[in-house]
Amino acid sequence: MELPISKSQIELLGGRMAEKEGIDPADLASFREVLTAYGEALDLALDRTRDGLGVSPTSRIKSLGTTREKLLRTNGTGLKSMQDLAGMRIVEDFGRSGQDGLVTRLTELFDEDEREPKLIDRREVPSHGYRAVHVVVFPSGIPVEVQVRTVLQHEWANMFEKLADRVGRGIRYGEEPSPGLTDGEIRAASSILDRDPEDLLAAQRDLVEASRTMVGASLTMADAISEIEELEKAAPPGFDFTEVKTEFAGQLGSLRLALDELLKPDDMNRLRTIVRELR
């Protein structure tokens, strides 16, 4: 399976896609042809994984928005080597040794391809709280990233993604929470809402402060998951961690209450809608 354009052309395309003016229609069409080729490789990998391992993976092609976000963070470099344009996810109710076992079988399933699978262990080197094992496989030479997650790792990742939707996606890379509105935008929108701009600015400051607390609590939670995994690694075979995990889950109640509070519909959502229309 061949890509429709060369690697160097893909890299140049990524550079142009990161320009502030937006994406040229011809470049968008070219990018979509590249994604279509990745999609064919992903279908192959999905079928092989499902049939070979007896698991139920799901798959996705990286969205245009998140691809562009990534390119903007890297100043337009790295599209040709972006390993998660095509991705699969496997979530299983197992512990650390079960996760290791599945990763080994997955690696063996793809080790006859033209490039050997590449292991990225985000349990050993977490990414801002995110924990999982990623295996990049190369069916037909095109990279497909397979995320292998335990249930706890997965639920944490889901919750943090959702939090990032609310308080700024940069928290996934260690950035400060950001509501995404400038003070000028809030002042402009305040007259439409017939609200005192100072009240809205104060609401935004409160939201940022609450967001910092939420992010901190989430990272503490990720550390706790890490501790449980370390215990699992050190425990004798057959040791039952159900009680430990149940106890851990109970500690999350206060965090859930705080997150519920943050989720409440508020002025900021309405404000975002108005600002979007003003833009």
Partner 1 sequence: MSHFLLIYDRNSGTLLKNDQFKTSAEALKARFRAEDEYADRSEIEVVALSASSEADLRRTHSRYFLGLDELTSQIS
Interface ranges with partner 1 (CB under 8 A): 32, 35-36, 39, 42-43, 46, 50, 56-61, 63-66, 89-91, 152, 154-156, 158-159, 161-163, 165-166, 249-250, 252-253, 255-256, 259-260, 262-263, 269, 272-273, 276
Tell me the residue length of the chain.
Answer: 279
Least Å from the CB of residue 194 to partner 1: 22
Closest to partner 1 by CB, 8 or 254? 254
Least Å from the CB of residue 238 to partner 1: 25
Least Å from the CB of residue 116 to partner 1: 25
CB distance 267 to 195 below 8 Å: yes
Least Å from the CB of residue 237 to partner 1: 27
Closest to partner 1 by CB, 127 or 198? 127
Buried b (16+ CB within 10 A) or exposed e, 59-69: bebbeeeebbe
Closest to partner 1 by CB, 111 or 273? 273
Closest to partner 1 by CB, 39 or 126? 39
